[in-house]
Amino acid sequence: MTHPLLSVRDLHVEIDTPRGLLKAIRGISLDLNAGDSLGIVGESGSGKSITLKAILGLLPKNARVTSGEIFLDGVSLNSLNAPKRAELLAEKIGIVFQDAIAALNPVMTVGNQIAEVPRRRLGWSKEKSHQRAIELMELVGIPEAEARFHVYPHQLSGGLRQRVAIAIALSGNPQLIFCDEPTTALDVTIQAQVLRLLMDLRLKEKTGIVFVTHDLAVVNEICEDINVMYAGRFVESGGVQECFQNPSHPYAYSLLKSAPDMEHQVERLFSILGEAPDLTKAVNGCPFAPRCFAVTEICRSSEPELRNQGGPFSACHHSSTFKQSLGAVELTADGGQK
Amino acid sequence: MSTNIIRGKSFTKKLNFNGNGSFYFGIGLITFLIILAVAAPLISHFDPTGQDLLNTLVPPSRQHWLGTDQLGRDVFTRILYGARIDLTIGFAAVLLPFIIGTTLGLISGWFGGWFDSLLMRIVDTTIAFPFYVLAIALVFVVGPGPKAIILAITLVGWVAYCRIIRAAVLVAKELDYVHAAKLSGLPTARILRKHLLPNVISQAIIFSMSDIVLSILAIVSLGYLGLGVPIPTAEWGSMIQEGQAYILQQWWIPTIPGLMVVVTGFGLSLIGDGLVKRLNR
């Protein structure tokens, strides 16, 4: 029997804050096979980045995984001691961060940073690692790679820096790349180039991608599957096409609706009123209920589980019917309910 | 190909000190002092400890540029030879604490845990301990001389570097490139050496500039108290102490060594400020 490359089971993460214990992730599960591309979408504070950090063991000191299990290539990370776990993670997963300048060591040449893992971890010779670094730089589309080997990060443009960061992520031959909003800090044309690069890499190198972002258009372009995250849980999960055409959670629906549309001119963009719930307090009922246009009595008392209700998996009591309430409650341009 | 344009420049070029005149002035000043100290036998033909009891307390003249002291020793010569002692001990007494403090701070900040707690308590205790009491005690144990001074300054001085580096590591270890290095499975020693150390050390280097000033002051103070380098070796502190009796008639005898301390401190401070400007941008 084959097992998924990455499997997360009912993960919970809590963060100690001055305001109290914050339940940042409240039970998420996901499966990822080799070569898959998964987008995790949500607003700030929904727990996207924490999910990645929890899997990678990079949680800050005040945060910890309280329950749940992570399997990497069929091996439970809980069952390994720290060095073994680090070794397995290093072998399987590479990471690309949002801010490429923070993700590169400012006092080390980019070539040496890319060659470091082959040289130090894989134990390759100096020449071979150097050669590999040049190859990787060419693979990620850095022109004049040979000469740029000796350049420091601050001498490169933002787009090139992010390419270097991707090359570093690839340098250990991972089967999976975690991308934590890698295009958010880039301007639109560079963003498109970097996305194209990631897509090419997926096809060429068969590298799986987990892409965390708040940009739906990016997910649409690069991912096959999508998980919409809200208040520390996945509220909608399925194929990108399916989710975009037929969202089955009011939050996902509202997110899509609030993205600008080239075809229909509107005076004001749709927006979701209110704020995400305070996760230091206990969540009663559906966390989206206070902001939902289709809210009913049951939403305020019991929290729905993510389940198959026809269409994408959805954590909504009314996943098949909420759109009908749209007729009754006319949405105003600013998303309020009349 | 335009390789020149995109080739990495050397580290010094990268620092680019343009528009930082006071930094250059500081470097010039200290270099000048070091040259004076190194070339002392070439500049002056007098013996720094050679007495000439027929020519005591002579005012500045063409033969004795800064006059002579109560034993007829040439003050200018003693200033030069004093620079040798004071600068050497000053730099040496900073190097050791720098290395020890940086290493311990790096380890303590990175690993945390009981080692960190223990080390920080030791640091607190050391800071609470009066320096001169420790120095005087050590001089009695080890015997007066450079060794005791360096030992005393090292025993106390490392804590500052330890704290500076530890604080910087606590910030730096949450940066993405350190996370990435950690995640990519590199050995911890390499992450510390290549990814953390070069990025946290600038604060310590800047502090070390003012620390040299402080150690020179400490040497001079100990010399003044008669606990420094034993007389008759030329040393600024003991020169001030010996000369203070003549401050009203032969003011140059105690004043010039004092001014030398001030100039050295000034030069090092300028270098420190210049480094702050460049490294902290």
**Per-residue pLDDT tens for A141-173?**
888 888 899 999 989 988 899 889 989 998 888
Does residue A207 sit in the same domain as residue A131? yes
Does residue A87 sit in the same domain as residue A197? yes
Choose one of A208, A223, A238: the last residue of a domain.
Answer: A223
Q: Which residue has the tokens 């080239």?
A: A262
Half-sphere exposure of A148 (CA within 13 A, CB side): 23
Q: Which residue has the tokens 């134990």?
A: A123
H helical segments located in chain B: 3-6, 11-15, 21-38, 40-43, 75-111, 113-128, 131-142, 146-172, 176-183, 188-190, 197-224, 236-243, 252-280
Question: Measured between CB atoms, does B279 come within 8 Å of chain A?
Answer: no
Nearest to A144 among B1, B8, B185 (CB): B1
- Backbone CA torsion sign across B78, B84, B85, B87: positive
Between CA A305 and CA A138 the distance in angstroms is: 46
Does residue A42 sit in the same domain as residue A180? yes
- Backbone CA torsion sign across A220, A225, A229, A235: positive
Confidence of residue B161 (pLDDT cuts 50, 70, 90): very high
Whether residue A335 is contained in a domain is answered as no
pLDDT of residue A326: 64
pLDDT of residue A333: 44
| Number of structural domains chain A divides into | 2
Whether residue A338 is contained in a domain is answered as no
pLDDT of residue A113: 92
In angstroms, what separates the C-alpha of A146 from chain B's closest C-alpha? 9
Partners of residue B186 in chain A, C-beta under 8 Å: 116-117, 120-121
Enumerate residues 211 to 240 of chain B having a beta carbon within 8 A of any beta carbon in chain A: none
Q: Name the residue range of residue A171's domain.
A: 6-223
Does residue A115 sit in the same domain as residue A190? yes
Choose one of A192, A223, A254: the last residue of a domain.
Answer: A223
pLDDT above 90 for B36 = no
- Which residue stretches of chain A have pLDDT < 70? 1, 262, 265-266, 325-338
pTM over 0.90: no
Does residue A257 sit in the same domain as residue A210? no
Does residue A204 sit in the same domain as residue A299? no
CB atoms B183 and A152 under 8 Å: no
Does residue A142 sit in the same domain as residue A213? yes
Is B60 or A192 the better-scoring residue by pLDDT?
Answer: A192
Does residue A191 sit in the same domain as residue A270? no
pLDDT of residue A210: 92
Does residue A205 sit in the same domain as residue A250? no
**Per-residue pLDDT tens for B202-238?**
889 888 888 888 888 888 888 888 777 777 777 888 8
Whether residue A334 is contained in a domain is answered as no
| CATH code of the domain covering residue A113 | 3.40.50.300
**Per-residue pLDDT tens for B170-196?**
988 888 889 888 888 888 888 898 888
In angstroms, what separates the C-alpha of B202 from chain A's closest C-alpha? 12
Question: Measured between CB atoms, does B183 come within 8 Å of chain A?
Answer: yes
Let me know the angle formed at the C-alpha of B47 by B42 and B53, rounded to the nearest 5 degrees: 145
Whether residue A178 is contained in a domain is answered as yes
Whether residue A31 is contained in a domain is answered as yes
Whether residue A32 is contained in a domain is answered as yes
Does residue A208 sit in the same domain as residue A307? no
Report, as an integer, the average pLDDT of B118-137: 88
ipTM for the predicted complex comes to 0.77
What DSSP designation does A305 have? P
pLDDT of residue A308: 82
Q: Extract the tokens encoding A305.
A: 């589980």
pLDDT of residue A336: 45
Whether residue A157 is contained in a domain is answered as yes
Choose one of A191, A223, A255: the last residue of a domain.
Answer: A223
Domains plus CATH for chain B? Answer: 22-32+43-280 (1.10.3720.10)
In angstroms, what separates the C-alpha of A150 from chain B's closest C-alpha? 5
Confidence of residue B108 (pLDDT cuts 50, 70, 90): very high
Nearest to A105 among B182, B187, B199 (CB): B199
Q: Extract the tokens encoding A58.
A: 């990079």
Percent pLDDT > 90 in chain B is: 19
In angstroms, what separates the C-alpha of A114 from chain B's closest C-alpha? 11
Does residue A311 sit in the same domain as residue A216? no
pLDDT of residue A74: 86
